[in-house]
Amino acid sequence: MTTDIRSRSRKRRGRRGVVRNTPLRTHWLLLSVVILTLAAALLIQGYTQHMFGISDDSAAPGGGAAHQHSVPPAVVNGGPVIDAAAVPARTARPRPRTIALTFDDGPDPTWTPKILDVLEKHHAHATFFVVGTQVAAHPALVRRILAEGHQIGIHTFTHADLSTVPGWRRSLELREAQLALAGATGQTSSLLRPPYSSVNDALDDQDWAAIRAAGGDGYLTVLTTQDSEDWQRPGVDAIVANATPRGTAGQIVLMHDAGGDRSQTVAALDRLVPRLTARGFTFSTVSAAVGIRQAPAGPAGARDHWLGLGLIGTLDASAWVVRVLGWLLYAAGALAVLRAVAVLVAARRHTRRRGASWGPPVTAPASVIVPAYNERAGIEAAVRSLLASDHPVEVIVVDDGSTDGTADLVESLRLPHVRVIRQPNAGKPAALNTGVAAASYDLLVMVDGDTIFEPDAVRALVQPFADPRVGAVSGNAKVVNRGGLLGRWQHIEYVVGFNLDRRLFDLAECMPTVPGAVGAFRRDALVRVGGVSDATLAEDTDLTMALCRDGWRVVYEEDAVARTEAPASLGALWRQRYRWCYGTLQAMWKHRGALVQSGAAGKLGRRGLVYLLLFQVLLPLLAPVVDLFALYGLVFLDPVRIASLWLAFLALQAAMGFYAFRLDGERPGALWSLPLQQFVYRQLMYLVVIQSVVTALAGSRLRWQRMERYGTLAVPAAVRNGPRESAGPEPAPGPGRRPVTGPAYPSGPAPRMGPGSVPEPGYASGPAPVTGSAPGYGPPPPGRALADAWLDEVHAAAGRTDVPYLRAGQTPGLGETPGDPAPYDGGGGR
């Protein structure tokens, strides 16, 4: 048999050399840049596409004559082309029998080409007042307009009402529109049509202030004399009638080539031009119609041209980003709904199986291994809760070089059936392996030092071993310190997230994690996979995946309840979840070969690993898109619709929460904090996943992070004054006791296994069920030959002779120093 258990070292050498022990900090800078870029893209799109946008010309209120105190009478009664920079202001009218067709709001990829085709068909020219954002989106259309002899004017950048926006916005609207035109065509234009403008006598004081400001910047304002009212879509006949002059006076006719369905405009134009031509009217651009000698268009400077190109590129990039975010939004929504449906259906089916018998009752004693590093605050409560079990147990506390007197405290309690093993600090995997080697029984329960067991937890935990295919059992971990918002949020996460997922994994036979807080293992299964590996920071996930790949079944026993101490500060929570997530990514990568294997390994790969990738990696990475779009929608879109969608998502989460709490027999009172959890806690978990993924991609390696202990574990009342009274006398070795000599397998030698190996056919079924009578239990047998031999075999297979494990019962000698501690947070309770 080949095993791969190595002592924990502070540096690990990989194919690229020494792997860093600390994560890169540059990824935070990268993440900040990405977030700022996305925010900028959303703001640009929101401003250019949704802040104002194109609406009907009737949308802007007009003050009319009652508010014309500052508008010069010469302008009110003058022509539609206004030079407001002159003193006094000057106006101009089209020549008689001259029609200047003008088209607003474009260019539009659908209707502008059709209108250009009609004009070309009838050899007519027109003036197009373009919106800057439309120019940036369709620069080729603007170039076609100029190439076919038409004239260009600007219609602001976002179709904003210049009479109502502040001065800086007015300047920005005109400047950005010019830059867009310069970038698309290399030309500028001095013609301006303010959005929502109409005829001269409709100008009010605010309109005149905007026209004067534009005149100061060198613009000629072009109003209209005849409105086709095509923006109302009254029908082709009505548009033709509205655009037809009543006499022979020249006219500037208002029409639209964008802003909605302009099919009526196209049809009306095709009828209007030949009809007016037959009446002796000619069609020309605005400047030609009023006799402007100096052309209003001219070449843009090199600086403006390049700035315009940059503006167009920025708008294109922001539009692309928003499109991608839209796709990701749909993906995140689909994944969230898919997960909700999957876990709820699985939970329902799993509930129907609750209480089913695994086989004959398992009564064989169990060895409970408690790895401990500086667990003085809660170790007494943990140990006493184990002794209160209604199933026979021995408790092995492996002190991993604690500096707070953890081992001394346990020894001072002088509790029967409790042993303390001291070893230099080597990390949690090493402590667990030491406990496995020292255990007296074939059923092993692993529990963190910050966890207390319900009296029936061990008994419920070992019952599935009546099935010989079962190699490990996951218990039901719950949060004991639920006070405060952070405690409630973690309580919700354990019940709604972890436990619902475990029910699904159990049904799909692809359990990826037996939590370190409450799990049981068959000794032979552990030995076959080489014990607990320290190759990842999630040793519980790594071990569970190894068992699945070795052909063992891993199940969930929801009645085996243990209560674990959760982090009580955001910093401690961050460190714990960062290690969990990073370690899970390591384990997924390590066991990626399961994707192409068959049998139990294939179920883990194609079900468990795919589920983890989709719902615990990709979904958290995509989920911020939902929040970004929620903020985007509240500011730039319909806030009522966006709020309704968010409430629907929250209702789905609440429904899952109530159902999960009902299944676990928990009071639903904590769910009142669920909306707040979505705003704070969920964001923290997103950042944890993002940092873990970036750290993994960067090839960094994390140190174990010690979690703070708060002393919130309570000693069970039934055993506060001593161990349980039902322990009984010490028995002679009998059924269920581990022999001290002989092979470590039920029969025959163990097959040789290597990383990624699949067990030989017929061997995955495991040993016979662990049943039989065990009325009592006693201290471990005096011999340690088998335990020491197993350790020696493990170390020899790993090629190490300097492993700091101690033999059972040994303590460091004088002069020995355990070295720098390798702290850990207990592995954790997932």
Catalytic residues: 104, 256
Q: Which of 526, 388, 402 is nearest to 459 (CA)?
A: 388
> Cα 475 to chain center, whole Å?
28
| Alpha carbons 142 and 312: distance in angstroms, whole number | 13
Under 8 Å between Cβ of 218 and 344: no
H or E element: which one contains 188?
A: strand 187-189
Q: Is the dihedral of CA 700, 704, 710, 712 positive or negative?
A: positive
- Among candidates 599, 456, 439, 594, which has minimal Cα distance to 521? 439
Q: What is the C-alpha R_g of the chain?
A: 39
Q: Is the peptide bond before 166 cis (omega within 30 degrees of 0)?
A: no
Cβ pair 8, 822 in contact under 8 A: yes
Output the six-digit token pair for 611: 């589920």
Q: Which residues, including other chains, have CB under 8 Å from residue 47's CB and lie 6 or more apart? A: 158, 636
* Residues in Cβ contact with 395 at an 8 Å cutoff, skipping those fewer than 6 apart: 368, 370, 383, 386, 387, 415, 417, 418, 419
Residue 819: CA atoms inside 13 Å, Cβ hemisphere, count? 13
Query: Residue 421 corresponds to which amino acid?
Result: I
Identify the three-state secondary structure at position 11. coil
**Phi and psi torsions of 16, nearest 5°:** -100, 10
Rounded Cα distance, 732 and 225, in Å: 112
* Beta pairing class for 553-564 and 470-479: parallel
Residues 6+ apart with CB under 8 A from 405: 376
CA 202, 208, 211: angle at the middle one, nearest 5?
A: 115
CA–CA dist 254, 100 (Å, integer):
9
Cα gap 79→100, rounded to integer Å: 13
CA-angle at 829, arms to 827 and 830, nearest 5°:
105
DSSP state, 533?
-
Tokens 């990405």 locate to: 34
Question: How are beta strands 519-522 and 470-479 bridged, if at all?
Answer: antiparallel
Taken as a whole, the chain contains a residue count of 830
- The 3-class SS string of 655-721 reads HHHHHHHHHCCCCHHHHHHHHHHHHCHHHHHHHHHHHHHHHHHHCCCCCCCCCCCCCCCCCCHHHCC
Tokens representing residue 573 in the block: 């929570």
Which one-letter DSSP state was computed for residue 80? S
DSSP 616: I
Confirm if 769 and 468 have CB atoms less than 8 A apart: yes
Q: What is the dihedral of CA 752, 757, 759, 760, to 10 degrees?
A: -80
Closest CA to 50 of 642, 638, 643: 638
Helix axes 785-797, 428-438, angle to 10 degrees: 140
Q: Which residue stretches of 388-427 are H helix? A: 406-413
Which tokens go with 161?
Answer: 């009402």
